[in-house]
A and B are shown apart, each in its own frame.
Chain A
Amino acid sequence: MTFDREILDRLYRYCFVLTGQREDAEDLLHSALESYIRNRPDKIDYPVAYIRRIARNRYYDQLRKQKVLPFESLEESGSYTNVEQNLENIIIDRLTVEKIWKTLSSVEREVIYLWAVEEMSAAEIGQHLDQPRGTVLSRLYRLRRRVTENFSKEIGGEHHG
């Protein structure tokens, strides 16, 4: 595998999403790459996904050790119809998005990253995170509700195009 700058930037971005801090992201990326180099798995179809997983495991191991693993109560709802599309339809400005980003937990940031940057569907995100699609939809649903409730002035209505 060729570690060009684009790939390293992608991995760094993912670590930043998990940690929420640039310096911590750099440390996490170093640590994940060290682990990858040390183990050198022979047959890996998607090394980027593999390194991302190492980073993710390391990050949550660290949180477990510090006993600061985020607790989440995911409400159950039978109706997540069109949740992805409804989220997509929110029209918003950059400053508000920056504000929203600061309110997200690492779990939420990761889902948003996979949805917005990696452009994965809820099913693909679920596969990536080893979680049911419904759990991912629930997170997206809650995010949408929070955005529309807490930033209603800033978003000023939704675009239904």
Chain B
Amino acid sequence: MDKRASLRLQFKRLLEKERLDDRQYALLRRKLENSGADVSGVDTYPDGRFQRKRTIWTAAAMILVLIASFTAIRFNSMTDVESDVPQRIAEEVAINHIKFKNPDFETSSMEEVRVFFDRLDFVPAGSDHIDRTSHFLRGARYCTLQGKIAAHLMFGSPQGDSVSYYQVAYDPIRFGPLPDIEKDEEPRVFIRRGVEIKIWVERNLVMARARTTPLQS
């Protein structure tokens, strides 16, 4: 049963759900930057309840980036796109997954998801790595991956697990070579902040799966 509240509060909740998605925000930001207007960071919320949360995540993101950069410098000569991009995707995906953002569109139907994503330059696809037997689709939202507009599909399980799938059109110049599972290559696997991330290419899409690492008993 839907929770009841005062008319004013219900209108407020209804309207506060309306926000710019990442693509819309990126477009506005570019317009304002080109005009010389003062534009602050992508996730800056200067007042209200989001500020503290956002600041924490920004700080966490910066620490992650620093750690990632340090690790990269230490263990690899990370100057080429090939080795760096999957790491950066993993960082981005881990942070997004931890944020537990609400879906823009709630549905359990993959067909409805395809209809919803009418601003993408690709069609979101199913994958053998998307386990529909133990996880159910909760919804979807627009996001960006390495600056490219992407689809974020959200799955849950009766046990309360949360799994995120990200899909973006594969651009070899931007993303470098990634394992193509249609050529029997294994996905790259990363663990970032307790989140297991797999990255691969399938149907000419970059796919990334993020899920909380199951607790070992």
Question: Does A68 lie at the interface of the complex (its beta carbon under 8 Å from any beta carbon of B)?
Answer: no
- Contact segment of B19-27, B82-90, B94-102: B19-27
Contacts A2-B38, A97-B10, A112-B11 hold; do A117 and B16 have CB atoms under 8 A apart? yes
Question: Does B45 lie at the interface of the complex (its beta carbon under 8 Å from any beta carbon of A)?
Answer: yes
Instruction: Known A-B contacts: A4-B41, A87-B7. Give 8 more (CB < 8 A).
Output: A2-B38, A5-B41, A8-B20, A12-B24, A33-B28, A91-B5, A93-B2, A159-B6
B: number of interface residues (CB 8 Å): 40
Q: Is the CB of B5 within 8 A of A13?
A: no
Which of B8, B19, B29 is most buried by chain A, counting CB atoms within 10 A of its CB?
B8
A: number of interface residues (CB 8 Å): 40
Q: Which chain B residues have a beta carbon within 8 Å of chain A's beta carbons?
A: 1-16, 18-20, 24-25, 27-29, 31-32, 35, 37-48, 50
Q: Is the CB of A95 within 8 A of B2?
A: yes
Q: Is the CB of A94 within 8 A of B2?
A: yes
B179 to nearest A CB, angstroms? 34
Report the Cα distance A71→B44, complex, angstroms. 40
B139 to nearest A CB, angstroms? 16
Question: Per-residue CB proximity of A1-37 to B under 8 Å, as 1/0?
Answer: 1111111110011001100001001100110011001
Question: Does A131 lie at the interface of the complex (its beta carbon under 8 Å from any beta carbon of B)?
Answer: no
**A16 partner residues in chain B, CB cutoff 8 A:** 15, 18
**A89 partner residues in chain B, CB cutoff 8 A:** 6
Report the Cα distance A33→B31, complex, angstroms. 9
**In the complex, which of the residues A9, A37, A90 contacts B35, with contact meaning CB atoms closer than 8 Å?**
A37
**B25 partner residues in chain A, CB cutoff 8 A:** 5, 8
**A97 partner residues in chain B, CB cutoff 8 A:** 7, 10-11, 14
